[in-house]
Amino acid sequence: MTSGAARATAARRHGPHPMFRRLTRHPRFLSLAARLLGLYVALAHRTTRWTLAAEGATEALRNGAADGPIILAFWHERLTLGPSLWVTMRGLVPGLAPKRPQVLVSRHRDGVFIGNVVARFGLETIHGSSSKAGSSKGGSAALRAMLRVLRAQGVVAITPDGPRGPRRVAATGVGQLAAFSGAPVFAYAAATTRCIRLRSWDRSVVPLPFARGLMILLPPFTVPPDCGEAGRAAVEAWLTEACEAADAWAEASRAGTGAGAALAAARALAGRPPPVLLPTLAAPDEAQGA
């Protein structure tokens, strides 16, 4: 093996050059990259022909939900498709126009990067992160910050499986937030006919321009104060079902067959009554003992 080949092999083995790693972590580089990605996401949104399946959600928003607190939940893998929904719904429901959603992101530089990207679409950020085991780093402060936003009749956008997964497994925080605040939870998913899947833990979706897309916003549901775990499970199930419906439509559209049936199924899902979580009642013996 020549010395040049040996150096190339060593470079591949040890990864990017330290100088390159330092460059990509520099705040100015990240700021520029976030600006470019924001421009790209805007381009992909504007050149995509969107279909919206949100009959029940739109009705709820127009009937007063837009005036109160809102929790918007979507899986981490659809983060680049989140701004598209807000831009669309803000145009359909005038009551949403003055609101600026607060997006929960991690305290890591990745979270700062995401915050810079979504700022282009009028979204702001709340910083906090949680681990798989349920312990938190900044999680309590983030929960308090989100509750303040909701008590002020604001909008909180949250990816229940972020920032590190497991994929499509909701952490406890979303159930606690819904239970403590009483705010309605809207589950959202989207898919496009032209996209790239990254090899990340969540298989993130990067939309490509000049595609067709489907946005699904499901009817809202509320979580009683003592039903945090049930609320977490409901969010997880609701989000996964919405994602599967959106993906089924995208796959059928690419295949050129069955897209109409898949769209009808998505619209039926968007018009389905939301889950109803009932407060836990104490057993008679427990009530007497109290």
**Residue 14: per-residue pLDDT:** 54
pLDDT at 24: 60
Residues 6+ apart with CB under 8 A from 7: none
Record the tokens describing residue 138, joined without a space: 């900044």
Is residue 15 in some structural domain?
no
14 inside domain: no
What's residue 131's pLDDT? 46
Contact 253, 263 (CB under 8 A): no
Q: What is the pLDDT of residue 231?
A: 97
| Cα distance between the two ends of the chain | 81
Supply the pLDDT for residue 2: 56
- In a domain, residue 256? The reply is yes
- Residue 19: what pLDDT? 60
Q: Give the CATH number for residue 261.
A: 3.40.1130
Burial call 176-211: b when 16+ CB within 10 Å, e when fewer: bbbbbbebbbbbbbbbbbbbeeeeeebebbbbeeeb
> Residue 31: its pLDDT value, please?
78
Q: Which residues pair with 156 in a beta bridge?
A: 71, 102
| Residues in CB range of 255: below 8 A, 6 or more apart | none
Q: Which residues, other chains included, contact 279 with Cβ-Cβ below 8 Å and sequence gap of 6+?
A: 224, 225, 226, 227
d(CA 51, CA 77): 20
Residue with tokens 């992160």: 129
Question: How much is the pTM?
Answer: 0.85
Does the residue 39 lie in any domain? no
Intervals of the chain under pLDDT 50: 10, 130-135, 283-284, 286-290
Contact 201/164 with Cβ under 8 angstroms?
yes
Contacts of 134 (CB under 8 A, 6+ apart): 171, 172
How many domains does one find in the chain?
1
Report yes or no on 243 lying in a domain.
Answer: yes
- 253 is in which domain, residue-wise? 50-272
Whether residue 117 lies inside any domain: the answer is yes
Q: Provide the pLDDT for residue 1.
A: 52
In a domain, 285, yes or no: no
